[in-house]
Amino acid sequence: MKKKRIIPCLDVRDGRVVKGVNFKNLGDVDSPVSLAAKYSDAGADELVFYDITASAEGRKIFTDILAEAARNVFIPLTVGGGISSLSDFERVLNCGADKVSVNSGAIRDPSLIPEAAKRYGDQCVVISADVKRVGDGYRVFAKGGREDTGLEAIEWIRRCVGSGAGEVVVNSMDADGVKGGFDLPLLTLVCGAVSVPVIASGGAGTVQHFIDLFRKVPDVDAGLAASVFHFGEIEIRDLKRDLSAAGVPVRI
């Protein structure tokens, strides 16, 4: 039986893992390479490396770190942040990434997803959407959550999947960093709209939040979190044991 995945996300800037609250107030955490190995040993099912540097030097440091992690950790690695062209795909795939997640890049250039899917396969292309409730609906935000694109979120995600994205990361900006639980209504909407795996991101604060996620949105494939793992508030080994005890199929 296929298992639900637990995915720690490592936001990397200047060679360090950082984590903020509501996309601001970034704080320093640890070396990405040692953290990646620690999570893999603890039973993480996959890792996301997110490049939040903007400079060219920062990008070089990031790819070096990615390669170093990929030489020591043998679970799937997804890389995102600053992916805006096929050459960005090439750059991170050559350093050990298995999947590449696109966000603002896909908004700027609608041909990025179909072209990447054609060259590397759908399974390699992940659409990551920063979603925030605006009025009665949900909108997609770009540039690390700073810019309202005006795009209706569910429609946008559906379009990305239709053009070749093989997986969706839904990051609820309303839930992110405040540790009040995953955004279950939003995730239910997305799961109902697409037929590719959906990864829930934003809002994890306790083990119970993960149990609620997989019980109340049974179609969701994975739960992603950062700070609760980085700061040791939830140990992955304990989380997976508790999920299993609650009847959620996980790899132990």
Partner 1 sequence: MVTIIDYGVGNLFSLVSSFAYIGEETKIESDPDAVRRAEKLVLPGVGAFGDAAEKLRATGLGEAVTEAAGRGAPLLGICLGMQLLFEKSYEYGEHRGLGLIKGEIRPIADVIPEGYLIPHMGWNDLVLTGLGERCPIFKNTKTGDHVYFVHSFYAAGCESNVAATAEYGAPLTAAVMSDGENVFGTQFHPEKSGDVGLGMLRAFAEL
- Region near partner 1 per CB under 8 A, out of 138-146, 181-189, 192-200, 204-212: 192-200
- Residue 60 or 146 having the CB closest to partner 1: 60
Identify the active-site residue in 45, 51, 88, 130: 130
Answer yes or no whether residue 87 interacts with partner 1 by CB under 8 A.
no
Answer yes or no whether residue 96 interacts with partner 1 by CB under 8 A.
yes
- Region near partner 1 per CB under 8 A, out of 17-25, 48-56, 67-75, 155-163: 67-75
Query: Cβ contacts of residue 13 below 8 Å, gap of 6+?
Result: 26, 52, 53, 58
Whether residue 64 lies in the annotated active site:
no
| CA distances, 13 to each of 26, 54, 56, 63 (Å) | 10, 9, 12, 11
Of residues 1 through 60, those in contact with partner 1 by CB under 8 A are 1-3, 5, 40, 45
Whether residue 122 lies in the annotated active site:
no
Identify the bridge partners of residue 80 per DSSP, sorted by sequence position.
Answer: 50, 101
Answer yes or no whether residue 76 interacts with partner 1 by CB under 8 A.
yes
* Cα 249 from Cα 246, distance rounded (Å): 9
Query: Cβ contacts of residue 122 below 8 Å, gap of 6+?
Result: 164, 165, 166, 196
* Cα 56 from Cα 33, distance rounded (Å): 20
Binding stretches for partner 1 (CB under 8 A): 1-3, 5, 40, 45, 67, 70-72, 74-76, 93-96, 98, 121-123, 166-167, 195-197, 221-222, 251
Active site residues: 11, 130
